[in-house]
Chains A and B, each alone.
Chain A
């Protein structure tokens, strides 16, 4: 049982939860995740470890309540318990002295990005952060990211904060000027966003690291459900990732596989469809 120490709402249906998990706090590195099962009969849900405090034995999770299981997780009150928290899982981010890096976060991906951006800054990189969201209410961690970035650029789809449009526009501007063009790009967010970023950086061959979020079960390489195609080869995101070279990832397949259980209705429709013998 893992106690919820705090639970704040950062943006609509996006919670920051601090959870007591001393062993995970002691062993985790940026880029790793945990699998959370809030109660018996609940799903096992992968969530990135946003931050950790080894001294008090807690980890911070940023949770976007998008479906039944994530809603159950965020509904756990302070003083309540998550039944299972297992980790840290996945490979830590490969931190290098790149020079200039652009860190791009979309939606809850911004939270996933935060520990990575922090580690990159601590390693002496010159970090420019781009945060994207639907509207101002969805822009999160602006202050936290400002503290470690040379500059934070914000884009919103409705123009209610920062520049109107997508993160790719801000990145294109950085790339256009040799004085700001990044040596490496880290992009974490919805699949279409990560795909757009990798397409933008591909012509110039700028190293682009993405963090993939396939559906997982065990998180230990046992089930293969999290397989993604990297250079056409199946790789298990839970053990070989979740970060991969974006230029080698088959985003279409990932996007498609993420829809497997999207609607039980759709699945049921399919079951009732007559398959030709």
Chain B
């Protein structure tokens, strides 16, 4: 019996490896790279958890998932029990199990990591969530409480909006999500590629919300189709979760050449519109043989790995610091390397060049070296004079970051913003306007899925408290 295992026995088990599609196979298709654990592997991995009393791992989780509790159920092969615990703390476990940076959150705190390898909390989360999706009937639907008669409008259907909607519906409130695009999910749909996060997962989550009577209206742009003032009039409360969708320009010569994309445009064409991926998709994309992606975050990795899948012979990351400073997830960097992506570190773009035909022909770069630490604590890259050289490229993707999109906020002059245009909100998500809450990237700037979800959950609780008071 698993429950009677001694700590010594648990400590003797080595960390599981995630089964992956072979790099040679996957670098030309969009199938999910991580295949997920099998039941035996999952059970054994769960047995590695020593059920600490002081739960360091939970401290590391931004939403405080009851990690040892759900893992304990997996070890006992009670997957339904595990799923219930997980679902209670985390509205989108199948998403988080795939895209959360566990290596810097829960797993970084896991005591087993001190002397060896941390428990694979992320893999187990995904395992349980996937099981729950396949066995939804066995789990049963939560019975919603009687309707409260209150109605809440949510602007934006990304992780923050979806989570808030689920929490509010669970409390018996009426919820309408307004989404600017023609489909749901926010960055989960248009940004993160299929090979990391299959869209069927978002569809399943959205179906679940609809089954709880959450209304989702796509093609409604708050600030244009309807204003915040109108929402405040027609609804009892509003939650703004419209993300941080505004590409930052490189501000170097040649940025308007054909073949230069922002990461948002590149990924949206391919992920949301299906360009280059589905034969039926009408939206085009310039595929490129030599694709240079500028940046070092998850977005840059997603772009470069996508470029490779669209057939690029050279798919390159151009990053001005060194690999140690790269903000992308370790797993993404590893996967990208396995797929044949080239990493040009300490390299910064200076100009995008053409052969006078309007198309990109090369990216002019120069070498950098690391100087004194800057405000972020990372060593600041400084240019090395006289080191300019040209890298042949027919597609250049700018993945240096996004800022707050002013479309909504520009039409809500009373709403308090900070100097970067992000909405100012307190711990609970409350803005300076009564009944108006905000969360996710529009408040934090570019952050993470789990933080956006945490905000959605917090705000839902605060909204509910506000509505009954």
Contacts and interface: CB of A to CB of B under 8 A. Distances in A.
Interface string A212-248: 0000011011111101010000100001000000000
Contacts of A229: 256
A220 B221 contact: yes
Given A87-B221, A261-B284, A275-B289, A225 B262 contact: yes
B15 interface: no
Chain B binding surface, main DSSP class:
loop
Nearest to A37: B182
A267 B225 contact: no
A86 B274 contact: no
A37 B218 CA distance: 12
B287 A271 contact: yes
A32 B255 CA distance: 27
B264 A222 contact: yes
A215 B154 CA distance: 29
Interface in A86-108: 86-89
Contacts of A88: 224-225
Contact of A234 (B219, B249, B392): B249
Interface string B285-312: 0111110000000000000000000000
Interface residues on A, range: 35 or more
B273 A86 contact: no
B262 A259 contact: no
A222 B405 contact: yes
A259 B358 CA distance: 10
B235 interface: no
A260 interface: yes
Contacts of B392: 275-277
A27 B225 CA distance: 6
A43 interface: yes
Interface stretch (B31-39, B93-101, B275-283, B369-377): B275-283
B256 A225 contact: no
Given A41-B274, A83-B182, A264-B284, A253 B256 contact: yes
A37 B281 CA distance: 12
A220 B407 contact: yes
Given A27-B224, A68-B282, A218 B181 contact: yes
B246 A217 contact: no
B42 to A, nearest CB: 36
- Leading 10 A-B pairs by shortest Cβ distance: A222-B245, A223-B265, A86-B219, A224-B262, A84-B182, A256-B358, A275-B392, A224-B247, A261-B284, A225-B265
17 contacts: A23-B225, A37-B182, A44-B182, A68-B282, A84-B182, A87-B224, A89-B224, A220-B224, A220-B405, A222-B405, A223-B264, A224-B249, A225-B265, A253-B256, A257-B256, A259-B358, A271-B289
